[in-house]
Structure 1
Amino acid sequence: MKFKYLAAALLSSLPLLATAQTNVQIYGVMDASIGVEDTDAPGEDSRTVINSGNQSSSRIGFRGTEDLGNGLKALFNIEAGVALDTGAADTNLFGRRAVVGLQGNFGTLTVGREYSPIAAVAAASDVLGQGLYGSNLSAFATNRLTRRLSNSVNYKSNAAAGFTVNAAYSTGERAVEPSGDLMGVSLEYKNGGLYLGGGYHVLERLATGDDKEWAAGAGYTFGAFEIKGNYLVADQTGANNEYKNANIGAAYTAGPNKFFINFQQQKIESGAKGNTVSVAYTYALSKRTNIYTTYAQLRNNGRATFGIASSSVTVAPPATALGADPRVFNVGLRHSF
C-alpha cells in the first residue's frame, strides 16, 4: 500500500517539478503481446498467454538534470517496471534503476541501483537488443550473471579516442563474512559501426570462495546489415558450476522492416547443454511505435533444462524435465513515450 501512496505523491508533484526544473522528463515503454508457449515437459500442454515486455520491458521513469555551472551537472533517474498483462508493478517500486549523481568533464558518477559493467557489454553486443525471445538475458536468469547492482557506487568515463570505462562497487551490507560485495569493471570501444567490449565482476558470495563473471562482445554495422555476438561466463563457487552463454546474430533493415536471426548456446560444466535458434521481425508504424513477432526453439540435451529469455519473460521446463525442448511464438505491439 505504501508504494501506491508514494507513486501518487510523485505523480501529483510533477507539475511543481516541471515548473521548478524544466528538464525533468517522464518517459516509458508499453509493450504487450499474445503468444503460445510450450515447455515440452511431460504432462504439460502448450498454452496461450498475454505477456508484457517481450521486446522491451514495460516501464515508466522520471529523469532530470540541473546545470551547476562550470560544466558540472546533477542528475537523477528512477524507473519502475510495469506488467501490462496484469497491471501489477515490480516488487521493488523503482527496481529497474534508481540513482542520483554528478556529471562533468571527469565522467559520470552515480549512487544507488544501477546497471552493472557487464550489463553494458551484454546489451551492446546482443543483436536482439536484449528483447525478443532468444536474447542473452538467459545468462542473467536465476542470478547466474549480475545485471543490476543495489547499494552501489558507479563510474562511467567520457569517451576518449572511442574508449569508455565503466566501474562499480556494490556493498552487500553484511556485518559478517562473506561480505556480499561486488566489484566490476568493463571497457568499451566504439568507432563508426564497430563495437568491442569486455568486462569482469568478482562477487564475495560464499565463504568458500568468490564468484567470477566475464563478458566479451563485438558488433559491426555496415549499411542495412548488422552482426553482433558475445560470450558470457559465470564461474560460481563449487564444483562443475561454471556456466557459459555464447551468442551470434544478424539483422537487416529495409525501410520500416527489420529482420533478425540469432543462435545461442548455453552450457554448464557438469555437462548440461542447450542450443537455441530464434527469428524475429519488427515493423515500425512510427518512430515510437512498432509491431513485432518472434519465434524461438531450444534443444536441451539429457542433462539440461535451460530456458528461452525475452526482455521480461523466460520460458523454461521444470527442473525435473531434463531434456525438454521449449519453444515459443508471439506477436506484440510496443510504444515508447
Structure 2
Amino acid sequence: MGKKIVSLTAMAVAGAASAQSSVTVFGLVDAAVSGFSNRSEDARGARGSVKVSRTALTSGAYNSSRLGFRGTEDLGGGLAAGFWLEAPITNDDGQTGVALFSRRSTLSLSGGFGEIRLGRDYTPIFFNDAALDPFGAVGTGTNLLFTANTTNPAGGAGGFGNSTSYNRASNSIGYFLPPKLGGFYGQAIYAFHEQTKYAPSTLTPAAANNSRTGRYVGARFGYASGPVDVALAFGNANTGDQFFAGTTDSVKTLSLGASYDFGPAKLFGEVSRSSFQRDVEVPPLVPFNDTKLRGYLLGITVPIGVGLIRASYARVRYDQASGARHTSPGDPRTSKVALGYVHNLSKRTALYATLARVSNKNGSALTTGGPAFISTSPFTPRASTGYDLGIRHAF
C-alpha cells in the first residue's frame, strides 16, 4: 500500500512538472573595479578641504548581478499562469544569494485582458528612471534623479522623505495593459500597508508608524512606436504616521520622460518632481514645511560598431521652504555628468568603463558612491568623482 502511494505521488509530481510550458533559470554576473573620491570644503576658506576615497571590487556597476527562476503554464483559452523569483547576488564577496528574492517575487495571471501580478515588484516611477537614462540605476553613472530619491543625505533609514518603496513595492497588486494596443502601454500598482486596525480606534497603540505606513499607489502610461518612447509615471508612498496626532507623511513623485532614436544616436530626457508632505486632521502648533525635490536629466547613446558610447547630464534641487513656487539661491542643489563606453564581446558578454562627477552646493551631499562626505563643521560636501571598469555576462 505504501509503495502505491509513493508511486501515485511521483506520477502526480511528474504530471505537474510536464504541465509547465517553460521553466527558466536566468541571471547576470557583473564585476568591476570602482573608485570613489568625495571632497568637502571649508566654506570660509580657512581650513582648505578634506577628502575621503575608496577603491573596491564591486558587483553590478553596468547591470545589477542577479539569479532568478521564472516559468509559465498555458491554462488554455488564452490564459497563462506565471511566476518570477529574482534574487540579488554580490559576486564580489558571495555573501548575498537566493536566500532573499528582493529584486522581484511575483505570481501572475495573464491573458487578453493584460497581466495581474501579486507580490514584490518594480514601481512605475522606477521604470521611467531605469529606461530613460543611458546609465539606468546602477554604477557610478546612476540616474541622479534616482539617487536623490533613494538617498537620505542627512542619514537615517530610507531615501527622500524616508521613503523605502521608491523603486520596489512589497505586498502589491499590479496590473499591466495588454501589449497590442497600437503602441500604448501602462500599469497600475497598489501595495497594502498591512497595518493592524483596531475597533474601537482608541485601542490603537500610541506608537509611531503603525497605522498607515507602507501603503503605495502608482501608475505609468506611455506610448512607444518606431523611434519614439514617452511615458508619464506617478507614485505616492506613505512613509510615516502618528495615529493620535492625526498625521500622515507621504512622498508623491511625478516623472515625465522620453527617448528618440535617430539611428546614429539615441536621445533621452526626464523631468521629475517629488514632494515630502504631511497631511494633518488638526493644524499643528508648529507648521510642517513641505520639502520638494525637482530635477531633470539629458542623455545620449551613440552606437559605434559593436560598442556604445553613453553620456548624461542631470541636475536636482531641494526646495526646503513652504510654498509650491518658492525657490531660493540658497537651496541645496546637485549636478552630475557621466560618460561611459560599452564594448560588446558577444550578445551576453560586455566590457565597460564609466566615469562620473557630482558637484554639490548649499549642503546637498549626493555622491557617485563609496564613503559618505565629511560634513562636520566647518566642512561642506562639494565634489564626488567615481569610475567603473568592469565586465558583464548574462545567462
Alignment TM-score, normalising by the size of structure 2: 0.76
Identify which range, 105-114 or 316-325, moves more after superposition.
Answer: 316-325
- Is residue 353–residue 389 contact of structure 2 (8 Å, CA) maintained in 1? yes
* Unaligned runs of at least 5 residues, structure 2: 1-13, 41-48, 152-158, 197-209, 242-246, 278-287, 321-330
**Distance between the aligned counterparts of 1:280 and 1:287, measured in 2?**
19
Alignment of 1:42-121 (within 5 A): 43-89=50-96, 93-121=100-128
> What amino acid is aligned across from residue 152 of structure 1 in structure 2?
S
Secondary structure of the structure 2 residue equivalent to 1:151 = strand
Contact 2:50–2:374 (CA under 8 A) maintained in structure 1: no
Q: How does 1:215-294 map to 2 (within 5 A)?
A: 215-237=255-277, 238-270=288-320, 271-294=331-354
Count of paired positions = 319
Residues 121 and 188 in structure 1, CA contact (< 8 A), matched pair in contact too: no
Q: Is the 8 A contact 1:139 1:245 kept in 2?
A: no
Cα distance, 1:109 vs structure 2: 0.3
The equivalent residue for 2:46 is none
Quote the residue 1:21 is aligned against. 20
State percent identity of aligned pairs.
Answer: 29
**Residue identity matched to 2:373:** P
Out of 179, 183, 186, which is 1:162 matched to?
Answer: 183
The answer to whether the Cα contact below 8 Å between 2:61 and 2:138 also exists between their aligned partners in 1 is: yes
| Partners of 1:141 and 1:179 in 2: CA distance | 17
In structure 2, relative to structure 1, the CA distance for the partners of 1:110 and 1:319 (3 Å cut) is farther
Deviates more, 1:103-112 or 1:82-91: 82-91
**1:305/1:318 contact within 8 Å kept:** no
Please point out which of 130, 141, 150 is paired with 1:141. 150
Q: Is the 8 A contact 1:74 1:102 kept in 2?
A: yes
Letter in 1 for 2:302: Y
Distance 1:315 1:187, change over 3 A: farther
Structure 1: tracts of 5 or more residues without a match:
1-14
Deviation at 1:44, TM superposition (A): 3.9
1:105-149 Cα offsets, whole Å, 9 max, x none, are 000100000111112222221122333423223144233361101
| 2:35 match | 36
The answer on whether the counterparts of 1:307 and 1:326 sit within 8 Å (CA) in structure 2 is yes
Q: What is the Cα deviation at residue 83 of structure 1?
A: 0.7
Over aligned residue pairs, what C-alpha RMSD do you find?
Answer: 2.3
Deviation at 1:302, TM superposition (A): 3.0
Pair 1:198-2:205 in alignment = no
2:349 equivalent to 1:328: no
CA distance in 2, matches of 1:314, 1:77: 31
Residue 171 (structure 1) aligned to one of 192, 195, 200? 192
- Check 1:277–1:202 CA distance in 2 against 1; reply closer, same or farther (3 A cut): same
Is the contact between residue 140 and residue 147 of structure 1 (CA under 8 Å) also seen in structure 2? Answer: no
CA contact (8 A) 2:53 2:371 kept: no
Q: Secondary structure at the match of 1:149?
A: strand
Residues 16, 58 of structure 1: alpha-carbon distance in 2 compared, 3 angstrom cutoff: farther
Q: Equivalent residue for 2:356?
A: 296
Relative to structure 1, the CA distance from residue 129 to residue 202 in structure 2 (aligned partners, 3 Å threshold; closer, same or farther) is: closer
How big is each residue's C-alpha offset from its partner over 1:184-233, in whole Å with a ceiling of 9 and x where there is no partner?
A: 11111101110110111222333245321111111001213101011222
Tell me the CA shift for residue 155 of structure 1. 0.4
Which amino acid letter does the alignment assign opposite residue 81 of structure 1? P
Bigger radius of gyration among the two? 2
The range that moved more, 321-330 or 67-76, is 321-330
Distance 1:71 1:315 in 2: 51
CA shift for structure 1 position 92: 6.7
Match of 1:186 in 2: 220
What is the SS of the residue equivalent to 1:324?
strand
Residues 162 and 314 (structure 1), Cα distance of their counterparts in 2 relative to 1, 3 Å cut = farther
Kept in 2, the 8 Å contact 1:316–1:326? The answer is: no
Q: Among residues 111, 122, 134, which one is paired with 1:127 in the alignment?
A: 134
Letter in 1 for 2:217: M
Does the 8 Å contact 1:102/1:109 carry over to 2?
yes
1:10 matched residue in structure 2: none
